[in-house]
Structure 1
Amino acid sequence: MTEAYSTHENFICSEVNGSYADFNEKFSHLAYEWSLSLSEIVNALRKKGLILEYLNEFTYSFYNCFPNLEEIAADKYVLKHPNKKFPLMFSIKATYQPESKLP
């Protein structure tokens, strides 16, 4: 890598037991996370010459990433409070067009 992963100095560092793949795993480690807005992500892609074809948001996760989720189907986790919906994941499809790079 030639550049920092994130220019955000405000990151969240927490000690985590297990992993996102298995919360019951018997080890602990430090996890570093950054909170990025959707506009920061989309604008970064656009700046590098990627043209958005679609952006989808999902009110579920494929894994149990938070303690207040419940599994409603195989590999489909939602917030336990159904009246409090907000996106837990998103997907983007973009096409690289170098001539459309922004300065």
Structure 2
Amino acid sequence: MILAHIIAKDKTQALQIINLLMDKNLLLQAAVSEKTVYEKKNAEGQLISTKQTLIIGKTKALLFKTINDVLKKNFSTNMPMLYSVPIVYMDEELATILRENTAKV
């Protein structure tokens, strides 16, 4: 089990991604949040900040490649960043729900 982290360009793209992945049963649940990300300083010594929209969705680790392929196919000109974080422990009842309600591998 993993938490798939997808960084979309904006909230509109995030909702498109969630709809697409949930229609294919690739995510069980998803949370969306807007974050301010700070990067290295510019020439004047000031931090550069940008807004990013983060999707965090619960899914099976074996679906990661499929999710990546779906995103590449549907967002080839503006591919969101995708990475995952493992879920080390999960209540067995929730794990069963996740296995039963996501695509079969």
TM range (shorter): 0.3 to 0.5
Write 1 or 2 for the structure with the bigger share of helix.
Answer: 2
TM-score normalised according to structure 2 size: 0.32
Could you say which structure has the larger radius of gyration?
1
TM-score normalised according to structure 1 size: 0.32
Structure with the greater relative contact order (CA < 8 A, sep ≥ 6): 1 or 2? 2
